[in-house]
Amino acid sequence: MSEPFTTDLALRLHGPCVVPVLGAALVALTFLVFRLFFVGKPRGVVVPAKAKRGLTSDPFLEGSVQERRSAPRRSGNEVDVELDDPDEVLPPLPAWVTDRSVGGLRLSVECPVAEGKLLRVRARGPAARWVPIEVRSCQPSGNRWDLGCQFLKNPSYDVLMTFG
């Protein structure tokens, strides 16, 4: 009585569909094991501990969730700088750095400057070097003007540190 059952089972295991079915099962099992051990779960946006407590954070140190720029900006103490137009013979104008990044500066000046204008900027001091910039935006800010400036060539780290 047990003989027909074994024969029937043997015929079923040696049929033409056994190899593709076993292959598909092995592929599915391999996929599931790979997903389980090698692919991490999707993570949400990580909020720094300082931000959770309501403290301000420095985007240079922790990054910013809202920042879409390639180089994060950071504010700080205003730094006194000189702004010069290489095409004119006028003396350098006083300006203040209100915001900085590795890609450019935001300057506060007394008079408007045309967008696209090429200027030079340097920190006040005897050994400061001129850095070429391009004015990307000019917006009124009270009785002053805010210039969004981009470096034409990224300056070295020591020159960047002179801007705060």
Tens-place pLDDT, residues 109-149: 998 888 998 999 988 877 788 899 999 999 998 899 999 99
| Global confidence as pTM | 0.55
Kindly compute the dihedral angle of the four CA atoms of residues 99, 105, 109, 113, in this order, to the nearest 10 degrees.
-140
- 104 with 150: CB under 8 angstroms? yes
Helices (H), 46-108: 49-52, 59-62
Tell me how far apart the alpha carbons of residues 100 and 122 are, in angstroms, rounded to a whole number: 13
SS3 31: helix
Other C-beta atoms lying within 10 Å of the C-beta of residue 114: 7
Q: What is the pLDDT of residues 25-49, one digit of tens each?
A: 889 989 888 887 777 655 555 555 5
Tell me how far apart the alpha carbons of residues 14 and 8 are, in angstroms, rounded to a whole number: 10
